[in-house]
Structure 1
Amino acid sequence: MSEPAPAPAFDGETGGDVRRAARLGFAGLTVGRAAGYVQANLFVLPRDFAAEFAAFCAANPAAYPLLAVGEPGGTGLPALCGDCDLSTDLPGYVVHAEGGRTRSPHVRDRWRDDLVAFAIGCWFGAQAALEAAGIRMRHRALGLQGPLFRTDRPAAAAGRFRGPLVASMRPFATGDLQRVAAITAGLPRSHGAPLHVGDPAALGITNPSRPDWGEPLLPESGETPVFWACGLTALAALEAAGLPFFISHAPGAMLVTDLRESAP
């Protein structure tokens, strides 16, 4: 089977450019977009659950580098992007209601006065630093999000929120591993240092070719799998808590902010 075509370059693109594209109908992945700008997972849930969810994020800082929390009913996050509308500015959303999931290009008609938005850092923000160091990212070259797995490690519980730690995986050349670990350790808003390097079985992942989210991407000869704690740990916890309604970003379709990853 032939590999997908290489991902296009978006030189000079800003977070605002991606948000405006989403408002106009862009529905793709944000991997490789707006290099150097912090990207965020978005979770929007009823105010009655917000304090417990904030405590859950604080208890799991590697999985949840919490970037900002919105005001009840508010669709903006001024600390991250001055002009963003969280109901329209992501390339895709998933509405979780009545036990089902519905993908939607926007959530203007589902936003409520009691909803609180949480923006949690995403690994995509680390890519510019790795690219600047000359480190090959095969998932990026292929335009893929990469695989994400439920692990057998539990997240720290808080109130009604608990569940498995979710990890993202990207394969890197074995000779680059020390540099990859050192660079990402300095990027805490993008999950920081790796959770694990090497055998997926150490995380309870028995079939790396069958990820829970994302696309399969097995290491090639000379590569080693590297795993990071992932913000989708929140999705697993929200589903397990039985919330009657919440909104999340669509897989790989992040909020691209105006923050620069290199900033403190």
Structure 2
Amino acid sequence: MNSIELARQAAVDARSRYREGLVAPTAGIAPGLTQANLISLPKDWAYDFLLFAQRNAQACPVLDVTEPGSYRTVLAENADLRTDLPRYRIWRNGELAEEVSDASEHWAEHSDLVSFLIGCSFSFEADLVSAGIDVRHISQGCNVPMYRTNRACRPAGRLRGNMVVSMRPIAADRVADAAKITARYPGVHGAPVHVGEPGLLGIEDISRPDFGDTVSIKPGEIPVFWACGVTPQAVVMASGVPFAISHAPGHMFVTDVGDSVYRV
């Protein structure tokens, strides 16, 4: 098998393990294949979210939208969006109600859920690694750090909220390279939205991420921030959405689609 076939087999195997109950962050899983954020909303909220995503495309780049009630996606044949992510979040009235490894029971509460698969910055990390740029959460074996910011997204209908960003420490002399590499992937967040001083994003303590894990920042490294697909979860909270299902931050849907599809 060639490398993409091997990666697809790795994706199938990973989804099978998640279906059986394995819970682990997905960074570095099936390198070369795109990973996706998930947000599932009742049909009554789907148009508002589609409009929100269109107006905030860097934070919410849509890769697929399901039919109401469907748990299938064109991004991975025979995959089940109710079971094939390692961890889900259940939202009620804008508050996190619980986290589960199987969302089937909660999915059954609404027969008209529309699921949005949103591009994830994990998808460009293989290119960063290939270029000799350390992706710290991968090398440290943990989840990527993510932060709420003071950057308001453009509202749509009943939805509003601020952007969430992911952070990777980059050596100062490689920041331009990292920006150039990731800019080739506009469908999975693209170029950084901010470089340097976290306080300008409203981040008071970079050692305390709102989601994910803390990573080390070495001398000579600069924190670089990318728009993050956890933004819809911040929007669910800010907007008081009555019901939603999402991935748990860093626990993505591993697709069968090659990253090169989203490279320009």
Fold shared, TM-score > 0.5 on shorter chain: yes
SS in 2 for 1:88: coil
Paired with 1:207 and 1:262, the residues of 2 have a C-alpha distance of: 35
Query: 2:41 aligns to what SS in structure 1?
Result: strand
**Post-superposition offset of 1:217:** 2.2
Question: Deviation per CA, 1:22-48, whole angstroms, max 9, x where unpaired?
Answer: 112221010111101111110011000
Are the equivalent residues in 2 in contact too, given 1:14–1:258 (CA < 8 A)? no
Distance 1:11 1:37, change over 3 A: closer
The equivalent residue for 2:244 is 246
CA distance in 1, matches of 2:171, 2:256: 31
Please identify which structure carries the higher helix content: 2
- 8 Å contact from structure 2 (residues 144, 167) kept in 1: yes
Bigger mean CA deviation after superposition, 176-185 or 233-242 = 233-242
Residues 89-98 or 34-43, more deviating: 89-98
Q: Which amino acid aligns with 2:155?
A: A
Which moved further from structure 2: 124-133 or 177-186?
124-133
User: Any unmatched runs of 5+ in structure 1?
Assistant: 1-9
Partner of 1:4: none
Is 2:144–2:250's contact at 8 Å kept on the other side of the alignment? no
State how 1:217-228 maps to structure 2 within 5 Å.
217-228=215-226
Please give the alpha-carbon distance, in whole angstroms, between the structure 2 residues aligned to 1:97 and 1:206: 28
What SS class does the counterpart of residue 127 from structure 2 fall into? helix
Work out whether 1:94 is the aligned partner of 2:89. Answer: yes
1:58 to 54, 57, 73: 54
Instruction: Give CA deviations for 1:222-243 in whole Å, capped at 9, x if unaligned.
Output: 1110000111111111122212
Q: How many pairs are equivalent?
A: 254
Gap regions ≥5 residues in structure 2: 1-5
| Aligned amino acid, residue 227 of structure 1 | F
Aligned residue type for 1:233: T
SS of the counterpart of 1:227? strand
Counterpart of 1:175 in structure 2 is 173
Q: What SS is found at the alignment partner of 2:260?
A: coil
Is 2:12 aligned against 1:33? Answer: no
- Supply the distance in 2 between the matched residues of 1:191 and 1:100 (Cα, whole angstroms): 25
Aligned counterpart, 2:3? none
CA shift in 2, pair 1:261/1:68, >3 Å: same
With normalisation by structure 2, the TM-score equals 0.92
Q: Distance in 2 between matches of 1:129 and 1:259?
A: 16
Alignment of structure 1 residues 173-252 onto 2, 5 Å:
173-252=171-250
Give the deviation of 1:12 after TM superposition.
7.9
2:63 is paired with a residue of what secondary structure?
A: strand
Q: Is the 8 A contact 2:39 2:247 kept in 1?
A: yes
CA distance in 2: counterparts of 1:218 and 1:136, whole angstroms: 12
